[in-house]
Structure 1
């Protein structure tokens, strides 16, 4: 444990109104940080500032940052979590199915990070955390678009590390496995059992377990970790 209390940071979580994003925002609030979330609709958890933004639109991202900067201050920690899926076998996948997923999950992270980097360079401090997925490295049938977008985040983080590392800015990737959400709960029991058989931990993760790994990467304790891929997957993707 650090000898002094951790400093309160201004944190932005994209897609922080539901699922893993919401759990991430809640964890940062619980740790005493000032937290903003972007959402296309809905609101973030209690204690957060919700700004409406669409990660596929650079002007919308710029406006969101301007609002956060005026209300909370410059963003010091950015968690690029917003993502979509358009699952389909390759033969049936349209160009739109592919490009929309890339534009949200990968290009969206680029737009957010680019805007955040201005303040981080000035402050000579920053934590960039990109939320990938075990399928970014393991692959998944019916998800060539999603898997490619999540894998691309690794190249993004590692290049950012080389560009920004000397300015006190780190860039890391967290790769969650199967998470217990409304979506996994709705799966047929046989399908859930088939997934569980592949996971050495024999259970799905709680969203909070992903959130705690991300909060740690944002902390002063992780200042010398950059360009890393941290799996939170119960051992599912080992060796990747």
Structure 2
């Protein structure tokens, strides 16, 4: 029975992942800004789930958040936000919000939780980051792309720093069938689909299944790796 922390575990990919861990009998702590949109999962009444309302862009209060976590075996840095804003009209406050949520917060959480992850006794502790193809292609939302590229780099940097004592990996999904898809203009959606093998977007479940594998059963030699989930749209 693992103790899991999932940021943004209340919807989309995070929700699908939370459900997988719960079905596996794991304890899950969900960090989200609010829980007004609970979709199909009854968080509040589930004995294996703990919900903490916290805005992850409030980086100065992250130490207080970490103080509420007593035990952790797996950290899933999943929370993120794509803003349909191009570089020439990007307000400073939206830039700061994007950077704080998409890169500063996961790096800080990993740093602040290192000691508690190392204290895991029953499992090899793991960190899994939900990055994005945006960090690999030169994304129109320039600060989102920069943040996700940074998260991929942070994955590799932490894996080296932890020297195999904590396994750190990431995934880089292309657009996924979640509410974030609505942030992508229709023209860009259709252009992307033409480059995929299957002619469709990824499902939240497909990304969650990959995150779950990296968090649980993937070989320890898979460390410092970013797994592309893009259906051939960015072959490398």
Give SS of 2:234's match. Answer: coil
Aligned residues: 226
User: Structure 2 residue aligned with 1:25, among 18, 21, 25?
Assistant: 18
Partner of 1:149: 147
Q: Distance in 2 between matches of 1:171 and 1:202?
A: 31
Contact kept? 1:10, 1:75, Cα under 8 Å: yes
Partner of 1:39: 32
Partner of 2:80: 83
- Residues 199 and 60 (structure 1 numbering): CA distance in 2 closer, same or farther, change over 3 Å? same
Q: Distance in 2 between matches of 1:156 and 1:185?
A: 28
What is the RMSD computed on CA atoms of the aligned residues?
2.2
Partner of 1:202: 199
Q: Distance in 2 between matches of 1:223 and 1:51?
A: 30
**CA apart distance, 1:144:** 0.6
Q: Distance in 2 between matches of 1:10 and 1:59?
A: 25
User: Unaligned stretches of 5+ in structure 2?
Assistant: none
Contact kept? 2:10, 2:32, Cα under 8 Å: yes
Q: Distance in 1 between matches of 2:119 and 2:162?
A: 11
Between structures 1 and 2, the one with greater helix share: 1
Contact kept? 2:103, 2:151, Cα under 8 Å: yes
**CA apart distance, 1:129:** 0.6
Contact kept? 1:130, 1:153, Cα under 8 Å: yes
Q: Distance in 1 between matches of 2:66 and 2:185?
A: 41
Partner of 1:3: none
Please list the CA deviations of residues 169-221 of structure 1 after superposition, one character each: whole Å capped at 9, or x if unmatched.
11111111111123436977665433311212211111010001011001144
**CA apart distance, 1:228:** 0.3
User: Unaligned stretches of 5+ in structure 1?
Assistant: 1-7
Partner of 1:129: 128
Q: Distance in 2 between matches of 1:114 and 1:183?
A: 28
Partner of 1:11: 4
Written as runs of structure 1 = structure 2, the 5 A alignment for 1:69-108 is 69=70, 74-108=71-105
Contact kept? 2:84, 2:183, Cα under 8 Å: no
Partner of 2:56: 55
Q: Distance in 1 between matches of 2:77 and 2:158?
A: 14
- Residues 238 and 64 (structure 1 numbering): CA distance in 2 closer, same or farther, change over 3 Å? same
Partner of 1:159: 157
